[in-house]
Each structure stands twice: as structure tokens, then as C-alpha cells.
Structure 1
């Protein structure tokens, strides 16, 4: 066995690299607990070490999630300094552990400490002399192993360290630790590292053991959980955010990994890329804490960087969200060791050493927070006091919103606001504002005069101009637009008597319909109507869908329904009437879909009768194939998978794009191809898919770059190059190299929200109450308008399309008036093309409906037969 190495210096690694290919015995990268213990600190021998419980030192092998849970739980169970609880479960049913660390005396009154801390943040409250509250995030990205495993030495140290210093730290602070944020991604990474590991450690970066990033970075449905602080669509983020607001910590640290060649980074971030809602004082206080990191790093002559490369703009990240909620958010990034030990130009990078660095900067975060405890506490109180002052001066006064005909969608938005500790009230009386009447029975109001004023503004505001146009993530996240809500600032229409009772998400259940002797009809505008429709089709019921507005005789009298209404006749079914009634009752109660009992097949004048073959058309059960990998964006594919499987309970077949040989295409009704860097298909696959569409009636649904591919590869259209010069080659303007970063980003669309004009009479537009449809856009290309089919464009961008976020005027002009959604026949099949991603981060409720319409109603698209000359 080789002698154990300390990788605190890169010199030894550089010498080894000079020998060429490097292999090191498996134990060489492992470190015993002494490697992590702080010099000069004695440790309680009764507290078990990782080697004693897990069986090896950190860095030897990956620590599985069950081992991490077992070890950390054992530490907590044996310590009067630590309490632990399971705060939630992942999609794969792994527990998420939450630790509270403080002195035994503080634990005895922990509820009082928390209550006093929260009370001190109320307007006009006195200062609180209680402990500092520090939050540590470990492992939001599953591929970033050091961020997860750092929880092990951190909790060990907090449980076992002895002496006056640790006693004072525990007495003066409450340390909140989530370990780990992303158990499913973490488990995927461990499996990969173990699968390609050997008895001899291979440090070659080309080795497959080191080649795992996006696949393990994400959760089960391939969501980046570090974008979920704001959006709150995943169980992991919902669990931790509830705890965060239960405490409202003063300092929040977030531990990550970056590219192997990078060194070590810590906040504050790029000065010009700070969200304008974050006070400058937050940066100054973060700089004060940074001095503690610097002191440690300098003591070991480590390389590091700060104040560059990372922004604080998108409020949905773990280091930015705290900063628009009165806390100090601190991001840590370290060059990844991937498989455990890897070569780099700066020497060998060791996982154990990375874990130690994150552990030691966890301690410096706590120390820095304690050193400036009074200043940070005063800043947090002032943040909320200033928020209330700004709210009282804000002329908007409050926002009113509704989702006409879709209580589930408005319920989800209320739940989202509640998760961010934002108070929502029922609208007490009807009000007319900004040209629209909001009714009290289905509208809600958010008053700005509440402590979460800053968060409200961050969610409701529409920003379209920025000091600098470089964004690490999306630039526009106006969430009422994402949910396709009708909303407005009340301003002069505000009145205190508009604020009714506090609103909570209502029960999803809709009333059960009475028995019918004719049939049942389901309202398509309800968010979960696609889930209900699939349940009907999966039960082998024959179903017909309204293709135009209609007034149907129901148990509630003549009832108006929009296009997409689902009619289930009793005649001609292979299932008895009692079973049908039981099923539609379950759909009403479990899916929240309005179901009506039909009393007659005759409809009001002007509406097609229920037996009309054009007014009501049959739909078939979808069998959906979703492609992923091989150049397709994993996030996009995961969002489609999540929407269909998790939300709508529709089974999905996932297949790698380059592994389609031997597929039985007759099995599938739909093929979904998302965007990405390489959406192209092999010649053989392209020919087979084209045949499947044209001859078998298959429905192709594409998004972003795949839509441009569909136009060129299947519809024979030429791609539009928005960056091409109309006059041919033109001389390139000379620019300063230092301006490259900003100039490159000038015409990049920073995840903005655009407005489109939607045709609600098109089957892809069924279920919408108006023509305005906000969409998320993060690409600059445009789709071509079909020349011979004036009905193919379902939605197009308006002439002034930018609603929220960044897009240069050039890009706005290029996109204005171009197609956003196209649906057209191709032989016996259909191609539905989305210029954008309609399922973006499982948050854009409006465009999700268009995607579900493509799934269920794509087959209803007809081909025009008239002659339409260009005007």
C-alpha cells in the first residue's frame, strides 16, 4: 500500500503528472478523520468517525445515501447538540434530513428561540439578542460530490469538538443543515462512480468514471434543483423551503462544485450582476464574512477567487433567493474531483481535499456570521422594515389575479405564494381594473403591505431593461405570466375593503355529477382535464371532443363549453353505465375537473348537436415516445417526462435519440423531440419517422431547435438564419477584447417571457379563455410561416412581444410577428412545432396546456383545400 498523501499542495500531483498516465492505489485518495480535524481542537472519542460506521475514510469510495443517512442519524441520536428530522421524500422515496445544531441549553428552548427571532423581524419590533441563525446547504446538485459529503465532517465536528471555542459557538448560534438536498441525483452519481471504479484508481480525466455531470446533477425527473427555490415544483425544494421560512436564517451558505480546472470560489459575486432588489449592504456584509474564508485559505496557501464569474440575479438559486428574503446568500464552488481523484493542469485534484475545503469554509461561514452577528441581525431587521416602508409608498398597492375556468391553476399559484410566505386573500367584492372585471368568486388579491414585499415585487414585476445583459440563468421570471393568469396592479382602484379572508389552496375536488341516461361532459379549461381524459381513454371508453364553442343541456341547464370539451356518450360503450358514472365521479373528485351530466343530445341554436361528426370528433389514447440524450437537452426532456408522467399520469416511453433501431413504430401515436445542441436524426431514422407521420398518422411534437429541424427535415422548408447579413458578407466591426463577454451576450435572449397571439379555435388552442398567451423563450431563431397553409400558425409573437426579461431590440424585431406554435398535417399525420419549450421548469402553466392539446388533439388538425394567395 502506498503511503497516504496529503493533497493540500499541488506540488506532488505536478510531479506525478510529469510521468505521464497516472494510476494510484485505491486507498491513496482516502483520508482518515484526522485529515479533517481542526488543529488544536480535541475531539470526543465517543462520537463515531466515518471509518467506524461507514467502513472507510472519505475519498476512498463514494458514500451512498443510505450510508450517509445512517451515519449522520447515528451522530445526531448520540448527541445532545443535534436534533434531526425527516422533512420530506424525493420522487424515488429517499428521505431528506434536516439537522438543528446548537447547545443543549438552546435545544431545551428551541421553539422560543425561533419564535423570538421571527418576532424580531416584524415591523417596529425590538432587537433580539438570541443566537445567530446560520443555514448550510449541502448537495443540491447530485454530481457535485464534495458539496454533499462535506456534511459528514461538518456534523462530526459540531458533535465531537471540545473546548471553549465550540461551546461558545453552539451557545451563540443555531446551525441549520440540510443533508442532502438531492438524494436521487446523489445516488445516480454514486452508482456511476462505483460502476466504473476499479481496484486501481485511474486519474485520467478521459476515464468514464469521471464522465458524469448533467445526468447526476439533476433529480429524478432531470430538474436542476438549484433553480427550484423560486419555482417550487419538486418535492425536494418544497421540503427545504418550508424549513427555511420556518427559521428565516440570517446567513445561508450553498456548497457546489465547478469544472476541475477551476480553483475555489466564494461570494460576493459579480458586482454589476446583482439583482436590484438586493441591498448593497448585503454585499458589504458578505465581504466581511469572506475575510474569514480568506484567512483560512491563505493559511494553507490555497488558490481562490471571488467577486467574478457568478451573478446574483435570478432569485431562484440557493445563493440568491436568501438575498431577496432578508438573508445573506453565499455561494461556494470548488473544482470537481469527479470520480474521486483526477488529473488537472494545477495538479491532482482530490475529492477528500475538496470535502475538507468545503468543511473548513462551513466553519468560517459560521465564524463570520457570529463575528458580525449584531450587524447582520440589524441588517435583516432593517431589510424587512424597509420593505414595509417601500410597500406603503408603492402606488400599485396590491395585485389582483384570476384564472377563469381553471381553479386548479389558480390553486397552484396560491400554493406557490404561500410557500414563499406571501399572504394571499380572497377578493372581497368585484372590482374593475385595467379594463377587466375581476369577480370575487374566483379572484384573489395580494396586498403589497406585508413583510414579503420584496419577494412579491420579484415575482410580479416585469423587468425588461438591465444594467448589464449577461445572465447565468433566465432574466425574466414574472410568475403570473408563467401561470397565464389575468392579473393587474390595482393602483388607484385599490381599496381596503377589497381584501377578504385569507386564502389557502382549496381542495382539488369538484362536485360529483348526478347519474345521466345520456352521457357526461368534462370542461377542458380545467388544468387536470388531460389527466381525466386519459383515464377515460385508458378505460377503453369512446370519447368525442367539441371542436367549437357549444351549449349543452346538462343537469345545471343549458351550459356553455369552449372547444375541447370532452363528451362521453353512454351509447356504444363496452362498459356499463354504473362504471362510467363511477369513473367520471372519480375524475371530478380526484382531478378537480368539472363534470356535467348531459340530459339531451340537442344543443342550443347555433351549436352542433352531440351527434354532429364535425362538431364532436373522436380522439384516441396516446402512446407517447419521448427522445432524450445524444444532443437533446436533458432538462427539456425531463420537463416533458414530468408533465406527462407525474402531473398527468400518462405513461411515457423514454428512448435515447440514437438508439431507435428496431423500434415497433406502429405502437406509438406521438413522438416528442425537445430542443438541444443536436436535434438531428440519422438518415434511416428520419425516413422511418417521416413514413410514420405520413402513412401511419403519427403526431410529431417538437420544441425549440427540434422545431426548426422538423421544418427542414420533414416539411422541406429552409431554415431562417437570424444572424445572416441580408447584403452578404459585411466587414466585422472591431471591438475591444475586454468587452467580449458583454458583447457576446448582447443578442442572447436571457430566458425572457414573450407575448403571443393565440388562436383559441385551433385544437392546439382549446381550453384558453383569451388570445394572450405568455411563453418562455431562450433561443433567438425563428420558425418559418408555412406558405400554403394560412391556418397552420396556432400562435404568433405580437408586434411588441417582450413582456419580462432581457432581449435586445434587434431580437425583439426579428421575433415579432413570427410563428410561436405551428400545427399542420403531414400526410396522414401531424407535426406540431413549438418555437419555445412549453413545459419549461414545470412552471409555465399556460403553455403546458398547449402541449397537452398537442398530445390529445394533434390528430384533429385538418388540411385546408382552398386556394389562398398571399395578400
Structure 2
């Protein structure tokens, strides 16, 4: 009897709560009639849209059931995230179109005239997992398109393919939902200070590896991006809607943004069509008397975002930003903002995007055709015919670059004969050619451009991202191709060639350090119990009658110090899995250089890494370090929040890594503990503001330019108020590429053959060039700016100063940089410096005195 009463009371509260939530029809046109056989979200969720935050499994469940009952809906699994959540793609069109979808898409992606080409509209939601109104809006939009009996919807679907990506970032989405659900009160709380509205470190904005997926369309370091891009190019959309959230005191933004902040490679017609579409968004929001704005703020320069990557691929990318309740509701300067308000606005602009695209379909289809046809014409007018890529020492980095280009539909051709150009020979084994005359001409220019002067120098994101510089791959523009012999087939990824075999009469096995995955091989061998040494001086060895050179940094596995009987089999199997060549050395006596028993070969210890995190620490830079060490090199990384350092035993760690962040909140007890740990032999690595913290606490012996010194570079006289934004832009390095001179004799530079190295920086922190010898690993060249915007005053101030400094601290080592060494997971060129700091820090000794 008591149980029955409890169930009745519970049902009453559930029913009452449902009455307070909006029905799905409240988000949609009031005059619409619906097919009653099509499931509404509440029938699978158990609650109305907007009543709770939907988890990814609930979102997926609804779309699976919707596709099962609607002939207009087709579901595709694009892949899975790092946490194994499914990335869903929802295609909505007429049943007839879905039945012949492969044929329609093949015609659409041919980039040729096709009178029957359907309009394709792609709507992507919640790339930032805590901007979750988009994912909820996606269910409403899908239901409407699947269930509406309106004649105009049926007509649109007859000639339109609508693609929904309901949750671009499933892992971040669930991280956010779990946070909000944990702290949500039974009664809605609009207090902006309530914990529901303030996430812990890390936030739901990022994916599993703490990466911002809305910066990864171009870079493709994350698997979610690679999965999506394959389908993006298969569908070749004409319009892409990119749905976000912003600060709670804002209103609603839709593009176009500021005209002068478009990338110059984007045709002006793109802006005009975006503006034409904006009229439909304004009309939809006007009906609700909703607040909105356009032609302000966000730029369209960096092509790696969801609203800009389409712009360099013949589509019209449109950014939508909704003021965020970051929970169920918040008080704002514009009144009470509810989760339902946020969802409704995204529903309205999703439908206005479809309506606007349908109205302008002929212009949009023609624009896409013109985009690619004009690309071919523009390419033929260039003085440069294409680019030749060359990398002789690290095939992995070269193949990684080729793979990214192929995923962007850029054709690259292997050389079939050696080619000489401007007194340099490009060997066929290590060289590839990218012709400009191909449909992706503009994208090639965007990836290879080294632009450093701009009409408008205010950037929301990075201004320089030149791909071969990031990968540290030599590339040369060719003005002529006479004598260039190419394969007829474009490059395709090939399986790893497993070449190493066990042999007898082994004194040692050795491998060079140039390969990007050499640190991964070393780490796996160390973890399996193999003992390894690094050669701090070069040597050679006679192998099968040939003299094989081994540069500084080569790894030597001496048979005489191994304790495992099957050590050689472990080395062969592991190296073959990674495609790294291992050499068999029959003797310790070398023809040139040090012998293998020399003290110049230093024993390497298995690293144990501590990465400091917590509130105030950049989740992005921490994620980049974690991704490189954990995902790429398979080095486990322990993360400890800074406010817990004083309570943890850190004695067993070999390295502590500090990324950009506010370390002034570090307790004195933790600071002294870290200083003592370094003095006892630990290695501490500080990046950006962490380097400043190390200097402030006299762990790093270096002088860092103050903010006042940076301010003094700029003339503040005779400025009017309207100059405020422009001055702020001049004082900022949003993200640019700089050339450094690398001391290749230093153990931290092992594996590098060139004395110049491009580095990425996005701060104005400057380490003054130290007076002490031997402590500067890299310094900026006299004219360092390679790509992107930096004010000339800042560029001049950077010149000749230090980029990377390393020295002794007691028995330990301190390594500091003001650059971002593993930026966004694609900066392969400088990431090796991190690996060297992990494995070779005790291979050098340099006094700071």
C-alpha cells in the first residue's frame, strides 16, 4: 500500500514537471501539422526537450528510433570517439533521394555541371560540449523535418539533402551534462554564482584529450575531425550551419561578421550570400522579438573552424552564437535566460538556414561550381606551378603531412626520378609534388601561405598556421616543371614496411633519432625492460660492408647490459610495428667516432611524468602535452591539480611539466616542495607563464620582459577612443610562426639536422637572451616572423632573444620556453623537443651561473 502511494506521488511530480516544460511544438511553427506515427523526443527520453540536459546515449537513442520509423531519415555511424561514443550523421531527405543517395552524392562531389544536383545543407551542433543547446535543438529540427506534413517541407525535401551532426563532441557533451546534473537543484536556480554554472577543470568545451574541436577542421589531429571530414567531402554541402553558445549576457549572433576580417582567399560572393541568408535569420528572430546582432565580433580568417572550413571548400559557412544559460537558467542583463530559450533560438535559425538556402538554391549551387572553376583559372595565372616537398631523415613526418593533404582532397604526386632545381637535388624517394592547378587550389594556398601583412590585424584566432612549417617539412615553390617526372597516381597511404630481422653475432642494436616515432620506440623498449643508452657524440659502424653513420642522439641497445633473454626479439617486433629501421652492430669498435663502451653513451631512465593541472591552468596546453606524450608516444602522464601538490608524494616522478597558467595560486609549501625536488635531480619543464613563475621563484635563471617593457614599445600618444581595439590588436600575438636558430649540438636538439626551426607562439612573453653560455637551446633569428601577424615592434623585440633555455638546478634540470611546442597536436616540428626534454635532460650539463 505504501509503495502504491509512493508511485502515485512520484507520478504526480513527474506529471507536474512535464506541465512546466515546453512541448516540442512550442519550438516549431504553430501552424504545422505532424505525422502522428513519428516519435517525438519525449517518447524515448521520458521528458520534454529543455526540461533536462540530454546525455549523448539518450540523444543517440532518439535518432536511432526516429530513423526506424521515418522513411525521411537515414542514420550513419561516422566512427567513435576516444571514449567510444558514436559519432552520428543524420541525413534527412525524401525517401526517393535516400534510396539513391550514393548516386546523388557522387554527382554532387564531381565539381562538374549537373542540372540535377540537389541542394545540400549541413547543420553541425555543439562542437563545444558545454554549448549544449545545439544538440537539443538538433532533435527538434530532426523531428520537424521527419514529421511535418506541410507541403513546403515536402517540396524542399524532394530537392534537398539535409545533414545533421547532432553532437560533434560527444565526450565533452557528457562531461558537461554530468556536471550540470550533479549540481542542479530540484528548484531552478538562476543565480549566476551557483556551481551549476561554473564547471571544474577541465570543462565540457573540449574533447577527451582536452582539444577544442572547433580548431581542428584544418589540422585533423583528433579522430573526431578525421571521421567527420571524410563525410563532409562526400556530401559537399552548399551551406554549413555551425551552432555555438557564448557569454550569458550576450544575445544572439549570426554571420556575416566584420567584412575586413574575412580571409582574402574567400570570394566576396561568399560574404554576400551569407548576408542574404542573414535576412532569413533576422526574420525568424523578429517574429519572437528576440535580441540579435550581426556584422560584429567574430572573424572569418582561420580556416580551421566549423564556420570557415566550408568557406575554403566552396560552401557558405555560417556561425551562430547563442547566449548560454550554462545550466537550466541564469539571470542576465537582458533578463532571465532559460535553457529552453537557447534551444528555441537555435531551432529557429536552423530552419531559417534551410529556408534561406532553399530560396537561394540556384545561387548557392552556381556559387559552388564557380568556386572550383575559378580556382583552376586562378591557379593557371600564378607564377608558381606548385610546391615540391622534401624530407630525407624522417619519413613519418613527411607521410603525416601527405595524409593530411589527402584528407583535404589535395592531390600530391610522388617523383619517379630525381629532380634538380636551383642547384638542389630532390631525390625521388623523399620528394613529392603538389600542382596548383587542381580544384583545391585555394586550400593549398591557405595551407602553404606565409602571409604576414593584413588589412585588418584583429584576429579572434591564429593568424598563421602554415602546414609544412608546423610539420618542419622543407617545401619549395617551383616556377618551372621542365624535367619533373611524376607518378600518374596520386599519393596513397601504404602499410608499414617491416624490415627488421633477428640476427646472430649481435654486440648491439641501434636506431637513429630522426624519426618522429623514435621516442615512442625508446619508451616502449624501456617499459618492457630493455636498457638503452643515448650517444652524445657521433659514431659509425661497418654493417654488411657499408659504413653506417649514427648522429648524436642515436639510441644504442648494448647486448652486454641486457637482462632479458629475449630482448632482441622484443626490439625487432616493437620496431617493426612502428616501421623504424634498427641496425645490427657486430662490434663495439667503431671506424669513426666514439666506441660503444664510451662514457659518451648515457644510460636513459624510464620516465615518470607529472603534469600539473587545475583551475587557472590552460586545459588546451595541458591537453596538447598529454596528447603528445600519452596518445603519440604512449608515455603515461599523471595529472595532479596544483592545489594538491603539497599533499602528494612527488619523489618518484622524473619530470614535472607546467604549461601556461596562473601559478601565483600555488602554495608556498608546494613551491618549496617542487624546488627541493628539482635540486634532488628532477627535471622541470615550464611553458609560457609557467616559465615566468619559474623565473620569479629563482628556479629558472632568466630575465623575462615585463608587461611595462612591452607597453613601452607602442606609442600611446594622440590616440582617440576608437583606436582602443586597434592598439589592443597590435599588442597581441594571436598566433604566429617564428624562425629560430637551433643549437643542434645540444642534447635537447638531438634528431634535428637543420639549424633553423619554426616555432609557434601566441603570447608576448619574451625571455631575454641569457649572458651565460651553453644555456640557450634556441633563439629567434634577426628577422624571425615567418607567417601570421605580429606588430613590427614586437617582432623586433623578439629578434635575437631566447626561445628555449635549459640549465642545471642543483642535481636537476630546468627547461623553459615561451613558445607552444606541441600546438594543437599538429605541430610535429617542435614536439620532438619535448621528447628530448623527457629522455635527454640529464645528458647535458650547463651552469646558470
Confirm or deny a common fold (TM above 0.5): yes
Aligned position for 1:558: 547
Change (3 A) 1:29 1:745: farther
The answer to whether the Cα contact below 8 Å between 1:511 and 1:588 also exists between their aligned partners in 2 is: no
Q: Which runs of 5+ in 1 are unaligned?
A: 1-24
Change (3 A) 1:843 1:727: closer
1:37 is displaced (CA, Å) by 2.9
2:300 maps to 1:315 = no
The answer to whether the Cα contact below 8 Å between 2:714 and 2:793 also exists between their aligned partners in 1 is: no
1:388 is displaced (CA, Å) by 0.3
2:385 maps to 1:397 = yes
The answer to whether the Cα contact below 8 Å between 1:554 and 1:600 also exists between their aligned partners in 2 is: no
The answer to whether the Cα contact below 8 Å between 1:178 and 1:240 also exists between their aligned partners in 2 is: no
2:736 maps to 1:752 = yes
> Deviation string for 1:352-391 (max 9, x for gaps)?
1211111121111011111111111111111101100011
2:611 maps to 1:626 = yes
Mapping 1:197-208, distance limit 5 Å: 197-208=184-195
Match of 2:521 among 494, 511, 532: 532
Mapping 1:231-630, distance limit 5 Å: 231-434=219-422, 436-493=424-481, 495=483, 497-498=485-486, 501-516=489-504, 517-555=506-544, 557-576=546-565, 579-605=566-592, 607-614=593-600, 616-630=601-615
> Deviation string for 1:62-81 (max 9, x for gaps)?
11110000011110121111
Alignment partners' CA distance in 1, 2:423 and 2:494: 28
Change (3 A) 1:716 1:331: closer
> Deviation string for 1:450-475 (max 9, x for gaps)?
10000000000101000111100000
Match of 2:165 among 178, 191, 209: 178
1:246 is displaced (CA, Å) by 0.8
Alignment partners' CA distance in 2, 1:249 and 1:386: 18
Change (3 A) 1:627 1:723: closer
Tell me which moved more, 429-438 or 623-632.
429-438
SS at match of 1:497: coil
Aligned position for 1:712: 696
Mapping 1:128-143, distance limit 5 Å: 128-143=115-130
SS at match of 2:162: strand
The answer to whether the Cα contact below 8 Å between 2:770 and 2:802 also exists between their aligned partners in 1 is: no
Match of 1:61 among 12, 27, 52: 52
Match of 2:708 among 724, 737, 750: 724
1:823 is displaced (CA, Å) by 1.4
Aligned position for 1:743: 727
Change (3 A) 1:556 1:66: farther
1:489 is displaced (CA, Å) by 0.6
The answer to whether the Cα contact below 8 Å between 2:410 and 2:440 also exists between their aligned partners in 1 is: yes
Aligned position for 1:144: 131
Alignment partners' CA distance in 2, 1:535 and 1:727: 48
Q: Which runs of 5+ in 2 are unaligned?
A: 1-15
Match of 2:782 among 799, 804, 822: 799
Match of 2:21 among 22, 30, 42: 30
The answer to whether the Cα contact below 8 Å between 2:109 and 2:233 also exists between their aligned partners in 1 is: no
Change (3 A) 1:403 1:338: same
Change (3 A) 1:42 1:555: farther
The answer to whether the Cα contact below 8 Å between 1:103 and 1:170 also exists between their aligned partners in 2 is: yes
Aligned position for 2:13: none
Aligned position for 1:642: 627
The answer to whether the Cα contact below 8 Å between 1:754 and 1:804 also exists between their aligned partners in 2 is: yes
1:394 is displaced (CA, Å) by 1.4
Alignment partners' CA distance in 1, 2:599 and 2:473: 34
Alignment partners' CA distance in 2, 1:246 and 1:735: 51
2:51 maps to 1:51 = no
Aligned position for 2:749: 765
Change (3 A) 1:729 1:773: closer
Output the aligned Cα RMSD.
2.0
Alignment partners' CA distance in 2, 1:358 and 1:446: 41
Tell me which moved more, 420-429 or 490-499.
490-499
The answer to whether the Cα contact below 8 Å between 2:418 and 2:426 also exists between their aligned partners in 1 is: yes
The answer to whether the Cα contact below 8 Å between 2:50 and 2:136 also exists between their aligned partners in 1 is: no
1:729 is displaced (CA, Å) by 13
> Deviation string for 1:634-687 (max 9, x for gaps)?
100001001111111111100111211222222100000001244663222121
The answer to whether the Cα contact below 8 Å between 2:738 and 2:760 also exists between their aligned partners in 1 is: yes
Alignment partners' CA distance in 2, 1:469 and 1:494: 40
2:131 maps to 1:163 = no
Match of 2:799 among 816, 819, 822: 816
Change (3 A) 1:360 1:729: closer
> Deviation string for 1:564-623 (max 9, x for gaps)?
1111111122101xx212211222222222211111111123x10011012x11110000
1:412 is displaced (CA, Å) by 0.8
1:499 is displaced (CA, Å) by 5.1
2:83 maps to 1:92 = yes
Mapping 1:666-685, distance limit 5 Å: 666-678=651-663, 681-685=666-670
> Deviation string for 1:375-431 (max 9, x for gaps)?
111111111011000111111111111222111111111110011011111122222
Alignment partners' CA distance in 2, 1:316 and 1:689: 38
Change (3 A) 1:574 1:28: farther
Tell me which moved more, 494-503 or 84-93.
494-503
The answer to whether the Cα contact below 8 Å between 1:464 and 1:803 also exists between their aligned partners in 2 is: yes
The answer to whether the Cα contact below 8 Å between 1:411 and 1:506 also exists between their aligned partners in 2 is: no
1:835 is displaced (CA, Å) by 1.7
The answer to whether the Cα contact below 8 Å between 2:124 and 2:166 also exists between their aligned partners in 1 is: yes
1:202 is displaced (CA, Å) by 0.9
1:731 is displaced (CA, Å) by 9.2
Aligned position for 1:14: none
SS at match of 1:760: coil
The alignment's TM-score, normalised by the length of structure 2, stands at 0.95
2:815 maps to 1:850 = no
1:703 is displaced (CA, Å) by 0.9
The answer to whether the Cα contact below 8 Å between 1:712 and 1:718 also exists between their aligned partners in 2 is: no
The answer to whether the Cα contact below 8 Å between 1:630 and 1:678 also exists between their aligned partners in 2 is: no
1:140 is displaced (CA, Å) by 0.4
SS at match of 2:184: coil
Alignment partners' CA distance in 2, 1:487 and 1:643: 25
> Deviation string for 1:486-512 (max 9, x for gaps)?
111111355553455421233234411
SS at match of 2:459: coil
The answer to whether the Cα contact below 8 Å between 2:417 and 2:486 also exists between their aligned partners in 1 is: yes
SS at match of 2:751: coil
The answer to whether the Cα contact below 8 Å between 2:775 and 2:847 also exists between their aligned partners in 1 is: no
1:29 is displaced (CA, Å) by 6.4
Aligned position for 2:11: none
Aligned position for 1:13: none
Aligned position for 1:222: 210
1:721 is displaced (CA, Å) by 2.8
1:755 is displaced (CA, Å) by 0.4
Match of 1:837 among 809, 820, 833: 820
Alignment partners' CA distance in 2, 1:834 and 1:741: 29
Match of 2:758 among 750, 755, 774: 774
Tell me which moved more, 473-482 or 336-345.
336-345
SS at match of 1:400: strand
Alignment partners' CA distance in 1, 2:436 and 2:487: 12
